[in-house]
Amino acid sequence: MQPATCCADGGLSAAVDVHYPVPGGARAAAVLAADASFSLVVDERVVAVDQVLPYQPGAFYLRELPPLRAVLAGADGLKLVVVDGYADLDPYGRPGLGARLHAELGIPVIGVAKSAYRTATHAIPVRRGSSSRPVFVTAAGLPGADAADLVRDMSGRFRLPDALRRADVLSRRDA
């Protein structure tokens, strides 16, 4: 199975999220693990970025990429990134945040979204734990079905994998 090999050679996996505090700027967080299931967390990082672009419909990546670049800088051996959001936005490959990050890093990126996006009819619903509501999985750099299997097997008993939940908490904490 392809996804198991994406991190089997000692590479790191990162789960990332970005928060935008009311005063301005952004705080990005990354949870780094020695495995794709995030059962072996080895580091947590938080980076504040003073200025970010305003939200632009259809161009969310312009706002989100700079903080993600900052928090992932120096993460040597990165083999997989999991983002809170979509990798691509439709079945024809219109790039979302994950695809843009994949193009920059050259490694697989899995998008895990909490809500359905109207044009992302290709997103694979994944139910985790005892939740009746799925997360929606897309991927860039690996097959969607393999990405869905990875997300299904990620550590945590809740709807959202623990590493993404932790990245969200870290990004929202005061500096």
Contact 171, 46 (CB under 8 A): yes
- Please state the domain count of the chain: 1
φ, ψ (nearest 5 deg) of residue 133: -95, 130
pTM assigned to the model: 0.91
The candidate with the shortest Cα–Cα distance to 145, out of 34, 39, 1, is: 1
Domain range spanning residue 29? Answer: 2-172
Question: Is the pLDDT reported for residue 37 higher than 80?
Answer: yes
Check which CATH number belongs to the domain holding 79 and give it.
3.30.2170.10
For the segment 63-80, what is each residue's pLDDT rounded down to a tens digit? 999 999 999 999 999 999
Distance between CA 141 and CA 7 in Å, rounded?
13
pLDDT digits (tens, 9 = 90+) for 88-130: 999 999 999 999 999 999 999 999 999 999 999 999 999 998 8
